[in-house]
Every structure is written in structure tokens, then in C-alpha cells.
């Protein structure tokens, strides 16, 4: 089935309007609501599940932090799956109508709490969104499927503390730089990140149809920015990275900072576990793509579920977005990416897979991503080329510790780029 480039999105236009204005009265309501939630939260002892609007304030369901684990450990009285029920409850918007909230309270055998406000909350989207964000900060959320990245710095423990700090800062700057460049093209990625110590998990807070595709484009630009920065740097200040893209389920939490929950969340779940296992056995410079399914929007507006190879092809055909973006003073003429094995001569045209087996003996299927960036005066090949992997048909060759070797071809490509950059003015910044 042929795929067409995605249609331009209305959201692709640069955003000129500022954030919606919330009235002083409603801001007072939100401040009062947060104060009450903080008291009931009790340093993390309780969490919020859902809420319902009331003419005098709102109704909220609080439970102890250990309640959900105990509740999900057993089937419901009617034999239903309690864990499935809880996942649905803490997915998406937390607002329920009055009847729904009391039905949930009855099933959980907990009593709703009433929070009185000076005036009723309005139905303005900005106010309702603000309440949702407050509720989620004092609770726990579940996302059934979301694209997530993992950037990992190779051989991180072998560097001095100063070099480690420099490399983490450089990788962080590459992400900020990629965000800024894409925003200039009308692609506004509402990305969040949490550190792993030697890298970062990154995800898009937005969950629309284009959120996963935008995050994939973000991955490619970060990899490119990091490569250009290394080509123009000296010493061990810019890291060699290995990274992976995967989509799956996870929980989202807000950790306590002092006596308040932070405004920044972190995630944990199947998708983060899979990413960690994949990257743990990846080679330096390698870019992996997990075996997942996602939804894409076709040119005619149809929304279809696709597997990872079709998702990557769909994203690659929409990379005209990055054309003209500058990396260290050089404009990108074109960018292309493909999974190893796609389009090869002969009978084998499907993406070639390999198996990642972790320390627990559990196996996962992954794909190897290759990236080509064309500049006016040269090309840059990133990722590991397929001839360095010797992948096979079927389940694929197993990736083990013994196969983690430096990629000479990638290093040579970076060295070639460094030669191109020597002609730039001295004051050109490596990550610009």
C-alpha cells in the first residue's frame, strides 16, 4: 500500500496567540483548590482519582497511595478485572459527571470529598484544563500508547565528573536546539524529559494524531545536532549517544519535592522498560526502533493503525519539514531515514529485525534505523549501516554483549563532517 506525504496541519502554522486569559475570580478558585488538594494530599499519602463539578465547588475522590495496588491485586466482586477498571479511570480526562463519580465511589467503597469554592468553576476550556492539570499533579495517570525516546550516553561511567556534566549539558542543549528549530518550522513539540543519570527519557506531552510523528522527527534532529556538535568539538565534552524510539503504555507520576508535588512528571511502564532493555545492548551511534503499532493520518484524512516499519516510512515521507534548517551554519537540503533492509535489491524488501534478549532472558524485537542528511556540499550518514549488523531473516540475529563494538563507518562519517565544518567562521557555535 503506497503512502503519501501527510497534509499540512492547521497546527503547523506558527502560533501567534498567547495563552488564554483566566479571570481573577477563576484564578482565585484555582489557588483555593490547589491549597485544599495539597492539604488532602498529605505529602503523598493520598492521591486523587477523579472529580466532578458542583455549583458550590467540586467533588473529589481521594484514596491512599497504596489503595490502587491492593485493589488491582484481586478481581471484582462480579469477577471483573479491577486493574483494567483502574487504568480506564486514570486515563485521559478525570472529570466525571455526578452519577459517574458516585458509581465509581461505590465500586471502590470510598466516600467522595467536597471542596468548597467561593464561586462555581466556569466551563471555559482554560479553566477546565487548569483543573485537570491540578488533579493529575496530585494523582497518577495511565497512558495506553505513547511514543517515547531514550537517549543514552555511551561509556558514560568512564568519563570524569566534569566531562559527564559537560556531556549531559550538551545532549540537553541538542534537545533544546532541535525543539527551537522545529518550532521555527511550525512544529511545536510539547516535550518532557526525565534523566536516567546517563541520558534522558523524552516524550511528547501532547497526545494528538501527530504527536508521535513529531516526536520521531525530533529524534532525528537531535541525533543530527549531536553529530554536528561532536564534529566541531574537542575533547570529551560532546557525547557519543545511542538511542531508541518505541511506543507503548506507561504510568505518569509527579514526585514530591519538599512538601509539594513537582510541576514536572516522570513516567514508568512497559514502554520505558522495553526502551531500557533495547538501548542497554545497542552499540554507540546506533538508533533503534521498537516493534510497536501506532496510528497515522493519511493524506485523505483517514486514520489507520500501522506497524513500526510503516510508521517509519510515513514519518520519512513527511521530512520536508526539516529542509532549510541549519546545523552549524549548513542548511539541510533533504533528510531521509529507513529501517535496515527496506528497499534492498532482491526478494527481501521487508525491514530486517533482530532480537534483544535482556538479563532476565526476555526477548524483544527491534529494528535498526539509518539516517541520511544531505547538505549543499556533502552528506552525513548516521545510525549504523546494515552491513555492520549482519541481520538475518526470521526472528533475527540476537544482539548480545559481545556484539557491542564501535562503529568505524559512523566515526568516519563524523570525521568527514568535521572537515566540512572547518570552513565555518570561528565564532560558529557547535550546536547552532
Written as one string, the DSSP assignment of 318-385 is TGGGGTT-EETTEEEEEEEEEETTTT-SSS--SPPEEEEE-TTS-EEEEEEEEEEEEETTEEEEEE--
**Pair 385, 409: CB distance under 8 Å:** yes
**Assigned CATH for 143-421:** 3.30.70.1230
Count of CA atoms in the C-beta half-sphere (13 A) of 216: 32
Our separate counts of H helices and E strands in the chain read 10, 19
Find where cell 552528506 sits: 379
Q: Is the pLDDT of residue 94 over 80?
A: yes
Q: Which residues pair with 378 in a beta bridge?
A: 375
Tell me the C-alpha to C-alpha distance, in Å, between residue 180 and each of 173, 272, 278: 10, 26, 28
The percentage of the chain sitting over the pLDDT mark of 70, rounded to a whole number, equals 81
- Under the banding of pLDDT at 50, 70 and 90, the label for residue 398 is low
Give span(s): CATH 3.30.70.1230, the chain: 143-421
What's residue 95's pLDDT?
95
Mean pLDDT of all residues in 148-161: 96
pLDDT for the residue numbered 177: 94
Query: 47, 94 in Cβ contact below 8 A?
Result: no
Tell me: pLDDT of 413 over 80.
no
Integer Cα distance of 158 and 32 in angstroms? 50
pLDDT of residue 412: 54
Confidence (pLDDT) at 130: 93
The overall average pLDDT reported for the chain is 84
Q: Mean pLDDT across the stretch 26-41?
A: 92
DSSP string over 173-220:
HHHHHHHHHHHHTT----EEEEE-SSEEEEEES--STTHHHHHHHHHH
All three cell numbers of 380, joined, read 552525513
Instruction: Supply angle C-alpha 7, 11, 17, rounded to 5.
Output: 155
Answer whether residue 213 shows pLDDT above 50.
yes
Dihedral sign computed on CA atoms, order 355, 357, 361, 364: negative
230-270, pLDDT tens digit by residue?
A: 988 888 999 999 999 999 999 998 876 656 666 678 899 99
pLDDT of 172 above 60: yes
362 in Cβ contact with 388 (< 8 Å): no
pLDDT at 72 over 50: yes
Chain segment 359-382, per-residue pLDDT in tens: 888 888 999 999 999 988 888 999
Residue 253 in contact with residue 266, Cβ under 8 Å?
yes
Amino acid at each position: 500500500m503506497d503512502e503519501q506525504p501527510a497534509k499540512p496541519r492547521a497546527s503547523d502554522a506558527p502560533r501567534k496567540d498567547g495563552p488564554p486569559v483566566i479571570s481573577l475570580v477563576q484564578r482565585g478558585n484555582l489557588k483555593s483548590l490547589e491549597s485544599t488538594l495539597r492539604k488532602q494530599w498529605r505529602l503523598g499519602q493520598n492521591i486523587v482519582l477523579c472529580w466532578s463539578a458542583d455549583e458550590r465547588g467540586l467533588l473529589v475522590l481521594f484514596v491512599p497511595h497504596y489503595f490502587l495496588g491492593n485493589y488491582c491485586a484481586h478481581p471484582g466482586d462480579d469477577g471483573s478485572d479491577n486493574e483494567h477498571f483502574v487504568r480506564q479511570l486514570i486515563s485521559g480526562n478525570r472529570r466525571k459527571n455526578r452519577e459517574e463519580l458516585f458509581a465509581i465511589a461505590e465500586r471502590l467503597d470510598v466516600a467522595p470529598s467536597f471542596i468548597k469554592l467561593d464561586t462555581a468553576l466556569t466551563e471555559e476550556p482554560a479553566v477546565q484544563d487548569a483543573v485537570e492539570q491540578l488533579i493529575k499533579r496530585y494523582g497518577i495517570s495511565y497512558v495506553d500508547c505513547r511514543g517515547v525516546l531514550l537517549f543514552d550516553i555511551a561509556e558514560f561511567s568512564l568519563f570524569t565528573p566534569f566531562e559527564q556534566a559537560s556531556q549531559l549539558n550538551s545532549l540537553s542543549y541538542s534537545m533544546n536546539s532541535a525543539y527551537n528549530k522545529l518550532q521555527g518550522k511550525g512544529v511545536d513539540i510539547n516535550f518532557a524529559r526525565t534523566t536516567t543519570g546517563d541520558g534522558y527519557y523524552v516524550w511528547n506531552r501532547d497526545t494528538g494524531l501527530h504527536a508521535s510523528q513529531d516526536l520521531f522527527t525530533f529524534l532525528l534532529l537531535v541525533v543530527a545536532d549531536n553529530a554536528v556538535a561532536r564534529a566541531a568539538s574537542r575533547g570529551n565534552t560532546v557525547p557519543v549517544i545511542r538511542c531508541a524510539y518505541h511506543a507503548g503504555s506507561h504510568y505518569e507520576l509527579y514526585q514530591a519535592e519538599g512538601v509539594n508535588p513537582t510541576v514536572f512528571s516522570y513516567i514508568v511502564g512497559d514502554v520505558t522498560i522495553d526502551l531500557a532493555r533495547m538501548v542497554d545492548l545497542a552499540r554507540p551511534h546506533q538508533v533503534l526502533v521498537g516493534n510497536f503499532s501506532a496510528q497515522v493520518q493519511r493524506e485523505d484524512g483517514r486514520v489507520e493503525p500501522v506497524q513500526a516499519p510503516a510508521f517509519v516510512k510515513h514519518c520519512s515521507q513527511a521530512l520536508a519539514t526539516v529542509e532549510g534548517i541549519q546545523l552549524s551554519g549548513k542548511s539541510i537540503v533533504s533528510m531521509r531515514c529507513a529501517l535496515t533492509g527496506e528497499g534492498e535489491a532482491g526478494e527481501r524488501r521487508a525491514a530486517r529485525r533482530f532480537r534483544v534478549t535482556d538479563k532476565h532472558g526476555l526477548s524483544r524485537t527491534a529494528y535498526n534505523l539509518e539516517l541520511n542528511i544531505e547538505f549543499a556540499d556533502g552528506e552525513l550518514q548516521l545510525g549504523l549501516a546494515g552491513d555492520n549488523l549482519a541481520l538475518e531473516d526470521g526472528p533475527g540475529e540476537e544482539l548480545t554483549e559481545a556484539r557491542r563494538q564501535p562503529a568505524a563507518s559512523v566515526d568516519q562519517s563524523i570525521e568527514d563532517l568535521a572537515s566540512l565544518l572547518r570552513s565555518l567562521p570561528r565564532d560558529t557555535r557547535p550546536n547552532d
